[in-house]
Amino acid sequence: MIAPYLTLVKRIKAPPARVWAAWTQPELMMLWFGPHHTRAEEAEADLNLGGRFRVVLREDNGERHEANGRYTAIEPERRLVFDWHWTSTPERVSRVTVEFRVVPEGTEVTLTHDRFADEATATRHTRGWTESLERLVALHEPGGVRG
């Protein structure tokens, strides 16, 4: 049986180098990472194979969530793969693959999050990643914060 997964594709009006930076530089990750009604309070990224990433999100209602993982593949401006788990459920390790492709209007980002424990978890992450990617797109729109 194949574990539940999700795949999302977004086009961003910025070159791959800028989009890559938004995924790999903590100060930029904090500008977009997380669904609507959250804000990233902390971000870390040790961009080496086996290096750790960490993001702490705070919901508008004050609830705190922390995601962690380790980088398992790094191809600058092309592909980034990392394990993913929430601190609250460390036994549930999934995988995120982000691919960056040059398109005429900038960069196409394909995000695949797989190895979910169940369909409900995949559904919740679909909402979270969809809203995060909307924020990433907005970051690169005219008037958005630039990295």
What domains does the chain contain, in order, with CATH numbers?
6-139 (3.30.530.20)
Looking at residue 14, its pLDDT comes to: 96
Looking at residue 142, its pLDDT comes to: 77
Residue-wise pLDDT for 53-83, tens only, equals 999 999 999 999 999 999 999 999 999 999 9
- 134 residue type, one letter: E
- The vertex-141 CA angle with 46 and 12, nearest 5°, equals 60
CB atoms within 10 A of CB 84: 19
Q: pTM here?
A: 0.94
Looking at residue 3, its pLDDT comes to: 85
- Tokens (6 digits) for 32: 């977009």
The 3-state DSSP class for residue 112 equals strand
Instruction: Return per-residue pLDDT of the chain as tens, 147 residues.
Output: 678 999 999 999 999 999 999 999 999 999 999 999 999 999 999 999 999 999 999 999 999 999 999 999 999 999 999 999 999 999 999 999 999 999 999 999 999 999 999 999 999 999 999 999 999 999 998 776 544
- Tokens (6 digits) for 88: 């609250």
Q: 136: buried, middle or exposed (CB in 10 Å: 19+, 13-18, 0-12)? A: buried
Looking at residue 2, its pLDDT comes to: 78
Residue 92 phi/psi, 5-degree rounding, is -100, 80
Looking at residue 146, its pLDDT comes to: 46
